[in-house]
Structure 1
């Protein structure tokens, strides 16, 4: 072997480092199994999340025309486009239209159900294919013997026990269910609905009686540009032309380039959240990396001492083994990238039901490169400290094989390099995040948890060291194992603490979301919402509710749809607004008018107008949203209602009780603003809480739902329980993705625990051999190990419960802005399960030690 010469050139020294590192690696990857698994798992999680997110984003972009149903889409609420508007659009391409609304279907004795009605024209679908079972053409929706045909979502058929050929009522119209819908090409753009789809013709919609003045019907006009004139430049030209021709139309415009902008934003946001969960898995695995590198350096002490004995500088020795470790990390990263890259392709073939979104599986080089960067930086950060200690391994280690490596901090140069590496990892995590503030919170929380867990481990070891001498040998041995030199206590506390913290945090988030959305309704929450109550039948409908539900609280207000056009003179589409209130500016909002302050509202700034106010239009704005939109008393906003442009000055700000689930509007106008405008009423009904048993309440709700559908067929009844169940289903799908990502972090925790056990295997083996030689039985040793692991796991579980509860509270109250419920039973149960798993892993790792014969090992002492 060539010696180490001080005057070698830098390139020559680097070549020697590579040569020696590669030569030593010929012996294989023994001892690096957990190291590789920890790196590969974390990288795989981040790569999979990034690849799936990219595939979904690409799917939205590639299938934009199909999702939108055309190149351009113009939608209006509560009114159809005028003949002039339709003619103008039709002159620029192939024009088709659909109308969507919520309504009730009645199936006689089988009951009634809320449905999302979609009325299509002769050209539907302009793009894509509508598939039904049995396969029928659009002509099947025509009239036969006074009844129109319909295609129904299979969920509707199953819910009411219906089949093809059965008759139902929609409004005043008898409808024959001709087939079940298999594929609806533009389903994604419709968003989340509160009921199954019922597809009819527009002729049937007009005959149903559902089109009342002010009804909440959305008319959407899809324009397919002619071939050769459908490029991006032509698209922009048509958009500009239409906007200039009808500046007051008030329609919401979308193009194929942004077919579902809100969905795209939510995909990016949820992808980042899952990426942070994957990064948590990588950080947990980092503890396993540190354990593996510590064990690696321990095994290489004779080689390190040999290199130093022939003149190798400490820095060059560290470089040799750092190169080996990073090459091992590169192998783990490659495995993780390969696994993560395959996930979109697996989902596209076997997981379509899990992700009912346009998925375009593809190779995502940028996302995979980012995952690789995370993996390599994490491996470097966690490997540097144990490798830095190798700099000062003495030559005398050749003669002291049974002596542990000094665990003091390495030299300053390695600490500086560690600081730079940590800064690089934090920078990457923040710079490449969709929400950088959330990324900073994650970084701060991760640093705090690591520091606190290290303090917990140190405190536990100090406490064990300070305890008085115990008479029972097994207990004394357990206490000594906790604080002895090179004890695995810090590694066990770190890995187990991170795992329990993550379990508790996710359990609290999911539990609180379910409780907020479905679990516990507020005391004053309504049982029903009734939409599209015709103004001519408003009093009759209120009398009907009072008769059918005596003692119930009834609230009824006028309702229209309006779209914000300008705020303080600035167009809404270019107005800079925080992400959490962007929904106010996107699309149409429900609005109302009132002479008095509405229920669930409290004026916090300005004054309410007189009941007989007859001056220029005024508006009351919700206070928190107004603050985020930088609006105040006296500012002017412009809304479009029924194609009419209305300018109003903000007269006061109101604080709303959103959690009541009652009737709440962001904007309330003076009554004279909409004098003579057609509108419908919105009504709610609330049963008196605690006066009706749950079973009886469900029966009464079902009876009222059926009576309302039969007596007022054009009124849409929404039962709050059903609406919350739809939300709960959506939360369950999101929770499934979170659990999948979190399970990787938990698997990394288990691997780290196993690695910590493996790292201390040799020392425990010698301890067991010596103790058995002087008379210790297997029962004594087993009892000692149970106490040791039980104490460490219990102390760590207490910390994990507290840290996870704090993290869950911060996310629920500060990020999601919801009220927080600790739900201690579920989180304590999760922590206890983790304790049992930790003790089980610890015992499994030491069980083989207990059966070893002393003689072979005593010869090496």
Structure 2
């Protein structure tokens, strides 16, 4: 028979047999639909957000091109260059303190001052709705300002009330509703207050060394060059300007990168769900083929070759998988609409119904590859069903492995699955580590199952008959031990890891960090104010520890003369090169750091500029002792040689810098000071008094209460944790489905065992106790593995990636054990309850 004829016959038989319905495939469908839907949803939502950022780039940037300078305004020559490109809108952003006129309260605020051209693209809307030029105009010597609702809430203000910022008085004229370029300006820890450039100038906040960002947004003339060509021309003509140039196609690069990395993480979690579901696919296929033994035997008796039999059920499995994949894709397709309902107020996401073919195709390929990878081995066993199975139900038990073509096909499907996961990821290193960990998890879970069976087989004899039966069921041939440990092990391990990471982060933010961190950060302390500032803190916090360092801002331009923009930097090191970095100089080694390589410069050093680099960040950037670093500070390029690497304790939240320069590097350069105050005994009222005293005496100094900043971070962590828990819940649901499928696959053997035992005198109560003991032992053993594996994963993520202390949380351990026991016992008894009522005669006749 020709191969094409065999395929046609197999497809025809498969199609006809499926007319009887999908019985036996429901768990199969659920596993595939759940995993595929998770991957499709995550990638569709991520694509919707990043696509909206790209398509609305001009609006989000409020210009075609954005030039940013830190700590200095553009020179006349630079302004002439910018003006030659098109219309220019100027804005300035800095942080300061907003105070009530009676000095009874104050709050950190992010001030954004704009000119009359703002915004060049998009629309600024306020409540009440009036033109922005009217809202920020000067009225009776007071400057108009539009405030974020959060600022009004914190200070108890309403429209028409006054607020003091720096040395100027502002009147709140409206609430901010929509600020088109808020996302491209970046995330801020303080609520926004928008006013005029004249108002900001009158406040006296912008002084030499102040931490201030000047943005020049340009609407290009029709005949001008492309944004990328402008970037190259600006860097070529004014290489020492030190400005950051961003085009509308990259309006919010940090947001885009964070969304892509977070979606990659959730995709990998979804892939875990899909792979766990693949175990369910294997169980479902095995159970389905087991129910088709007589059909397979009949086909063989009628002369069907083994290859035709295998193709019949391959086609059936592929068609059923296609239904599951389409169901998952439907869920993924509507996910952006659901997400838009919740995210439209925070992120740029389209609310119009839109399909994202790339995201859906990726999920579909994942779903089909998982189906093939886990279904081919059971299909290989179908070739081994002998014709005698038609005449005797127990006439066949699978032995050994299927033939090499099936093993090869499985290996190829798994390789394709791994390759797709790696090459579709933003960070291939993380994806590779993830896949290796998953493969190791499968191997370890198999070893755990063998270990449990070994211990059960060699355990001492117990007096309870039900417990002896349970222990025997754990190690007998065809036991559920491998299925239960594998199905629940991966899902529970992932859940434990995420719970421990979330718990440790909250513990660190809520308890540990506030104990170690300073009470306050004080920014933009001018040289003329430093002595008076010290006097106030000595009076208000006599027991506090004041640490102060000079503070400048600089942008890294090159390493060893190579432009960093042309370097292939690992994702974990990119943050160092993104935007300006805080830098300082010091005569001696900072007290919260230690030298791990190289030597510190001597006192009164006067040689070439030297720099001390953070060791972890240097390793990520591929730097070594003796390399050169070029930094632009205040429009001047400075090249320094790396003299040493320091171990920096970032988690302490004390004053830390990636780069510390030798003092001669910035001799005579204007700068401000940064200070911290640590007083572990200070109460909330005493902190409020310190804040009020500093703000009243020096309104241009920005005071940041660390606890308030940690509260903001804690809320963000909580929001991210919600998404992570949802993803972990999907993996756990997949595990439960797999467990249900495994129990269903073993129902035939369980039925025979139950009937024989009842015939020999066992009661239903005794069998229920035996099954309860069995599922309890398996659930407890799986929970112990999940605690060890999940704890190891959490430790690696916290200590090696986040560089935070990791602690094992007993409440997570207890919850995991209880969840595992409830799941295994509940699903196990639910699946075997029907078996206990099976009549003996029909089963005994088939033995």
TM-score, scaled relative to structure 1: 0.94
Q: CA deviation at 1:853?
A: 5.7
Is the aligned partner of 1:710 residue 2:696? yes
Q: Which digits, 9 at most, give the CA deviation of each residue in 1:609-637, with x for residues without a partner?
A: 34433444333333333344344444333
Residue 655 of structure 2, aligned match among 656, 663, 676: 663
Counterpart in 1 of 2:436? 444
> Secondary structure of 2:171's match?
strand
1:196 aligns with 2:182: no
Query: Contact conserved, 2:49 with 2:347, CA < 8 A, in 1?
Result: no
1:122 paired residue among 116, 124, 142: 116
1:529 alignment counterpart: 521
- Aligned twin of 2:68: 75
Partner residue of 1:181 out of 176, 181, 186: 176
State the partner residue of 1:96: 89
Match of 1:800 among 775, 786, 790: 786
Contact 1:563 1:589 in 2 (8 A): yes
Q: Does 2:734 correspond to 1:748? A: yes
Cα deviation digits, residues 117-146 of structure 1 (max 9, x gap):
111111111111112122122111122222
The answer as to 2:263 corresponding to 1:271 is yes
CA change 1:18–1:630 in 2 (3 A) is closer
Change in 2 beyond 3 A, CA 1:608/1:471: closer
Aligned ranges 1:345-424 → 2 under 5 Å: 345-353=337-345, 355=347, 362-401=354-393, 405-406=397-398, 408-424=400-416
CA contact (8 A) 1:348 1:361 kept: no
1:602 equivalent to 2:588? Answer no
SS in 1 for 2:513: coil
**Matches of 2:461 and 2:15, distance apart in 1:** 50
Find the counterpart in structure 2 of residue 47 from structure 1.
Answer: 40
Q: Give the superposition deviation at 1:570.
A: 1.6
- The range that moved more, 447-456 or 95-104, is 447-456
Query: In the alignment, is the contact (CA less than 8 A) between 1:377 and 1:421 conserved in 2?
Result: yes
Kindly indicate whether residue 193 of structure 2 is the aligned counterpart of residue 234 of structure 1.
no
Residue 466 of structure 2: aligned partner: 474
Structure 1's 350 and 423: CA in aligned 2 closer, same or farther, altered over 3 A?
Answer: same
In structure 1, the residue matched to 2:706 is 720
After superposing the two structures, state which structure 1 stretch, 108-117 or 445-454, moved more: 108-117
2:810 aligned to 824, 828, 842, which one?
824
Instruction: Indicate which of 723, 729, 740 corresponds to 2:715.
Output: 729
> In the alignment, does 2:334 pair up with 1:342?
yes
Deviation, 1:309, is 0.9
Structure 1 residues 391-414: Cα deviation after superposition (integer angstroms, max 9, x where no partner): 111111112225664254222332
Alignment of 1:419-438 (within 5 A): 419-438=411-430
Q: Which residue of 1 aligns with 2:583?
A: 591
Q: Separation in 1 of the partners of 2:3 and 2:239? A: 70
Separation in structure 1 between the aligned mates of residue 608 and residue 415 of structure 2, nearest angstrom: 58
- Indicate the residue corresponding to 1:514 in structure 2: 506
Q: In the alignment, what sits opposite 1:5? A: none
2: CA distance between counterparts of 1:381 and 1:635? 49
| Farther off after superposition, 377-386 or 216-225 | 377-386
Q: Is the aligned partner of 1:258 residue 2:250?
A: yes
Identify the residue that residue 840 of structure 1 maps to in structure 2.
826
Cα drift, residue 62 of structure 1: 0.6
Q: Is contact 1:38-1:751 (8 Å) kept?
A: yes
Match of 1:34 in 2: 27
Match of 2:143 in 1: 148
How far apart in 1 are the matches of 2:430 and 2:830? 39
- The secondary structure found in structure 2 opposite 1:790 is helix
Partner residue of 2:99? 106
Task: Report the Cα offset of residue 470 of structure 1.
Answer: 4.3
Distance 2:511 2:395 in 1: 59
Closer, same or farther in 2 for the Cα pair 1:796/1:353, shift >3 Å?
farther
In 2, the alpha carbon distance for the partners of 1:179 and 1:309 equals 85
Asked if structure 2 preserves the Cα contact closer than 8 Å seen for 1:119 and 1:205, the reply is yes
Q: Which residue of 1 aligns with 2:773?
A: 787
Counterpart for residue 493 of structure 2:
501
1:286 corresponds to 2:278? yes
CA contact (8 A) 2:31 2:281 kept: yes
| Matched positions, count | 845
Match of 2:533 among 525, 529, 541: 541
Deviation readout 1:804-852 (Å, 9 max, x if unpaired): 1122222333333433222233233233223222211222223344455
Check 1:634–1:32 CA distance in 2 against 1; reply closer, same or farther (3 A cut).
closer
Residue 323 of structure 1: CA displacement? 1.6
Alignment equivalent of 1:619, drawn from 604, 607, 611: 611
**Separation in structure 1 between the aligned mates of residue 272 and residue 287 of structure 2, nearest angstrom:** 23
Q: Would the alpha carbon gap of residues 805 and 712 (structure 1) be closer, same or farther in structure 2, given more than 3 Å must change?
A: same
Partner of 1:296: 288
Residue 521 of structure 1: SS of its match in structure 2? helix
CA drift at 1:33:
0.5
Cα gap change, 1:774 to 1:526, in 2 (>3 Å): same
Contact 1:522 1:659 in 2 (8 A): no
Q: Displacement, 1:80?
A: 1.2
Structure 1 residues 566, 480: CA separation in 2 closer, same or farther (over 3 Å shift)?
A: closer
Cα separation, partners in 2 of 1:630 and 1:858, compared to 1, 3 Å: closer
Cα 1:287/1:647, change in 2 over 3 Å? closer
Q: Distance in 1 between matches of 2:179 and 2:346?
A: 17
1:95 CA drift (Å): 0.6
Q: Where do 1:14-33 residues align within 5 Å? A: 14-33=7-26
Matched, 1:12 2:25: no
Instruction: Point out where structure 1 has 5 or more consecutive residues left out of the alignment.
Output: 1-7
Shift of 1:159: 2.1
Residues of 2 paired with 1:358 and 1:28: CA distance? Answer: 40
Partner of 2:314: 322
Indicate if the aligned counterparts of 2:555 and 2:632 stay in contact, CA closer than 8 A.
yes
- The root-mean-square deviation of aligned C-alpha atoms, in Å, is 2.3
Counterparts in 2 of 1:193 and 1:354: CA distance versus 1, 3 Å: closer
Q: Which residue of 2 aligns with 1:4?
A: none
Partner of 2:672: 680
**Residues 353 and 795 of structure 1: CA distance in aligned 2, closer, same or farther (over 3 Å):** farther
Q: Is the 8 A contact 2:96 2:703 kept in 1?
A: yes
- Partners of 1:393 and 1:221 in 2: how far apart? 75
Residues 1:388 and 1:175: Cα distance change in structure 2 (over 3 Å):
same
**SS at 1:247's partner residue?**
coil
Q: Does 1:225 align with 2:220?
A: yes
Distance change in 2, residues 1:541/1:294 (3 Å): same
Inter-CA distance 150–572: structure 2 relative to 1 (3 Å threshold): same
Closer/same/farther in 2, CA of residues 551 and 329 from structure 1, 3 Å limit: same
The 1-side partners of 2:652 and 2:278 are apart by 45
Corresponding residue for 2:167? 172
3-state SS in 2 of match to 1:204: helix
Deviation of 1:361 after TM superposition, in Å, equals 6.5
Q: Separation in 2 of the partners of 1:40 and 1:681? A: 57
Cα distance change on mapping 1:650 and 1:44 into 2, 3 Å: same
Partner of 1:649: 641
Q: What does residue 56 of structure 1 align with?
A: 49
**Can you list the C-alpha shifts for 1:544-585, whole angstroms capped at 9, x where unaligned?**
111110111101111111112222122232234332222222
Structure 1 range deviating more: 52-61 or 237-246:
237-246
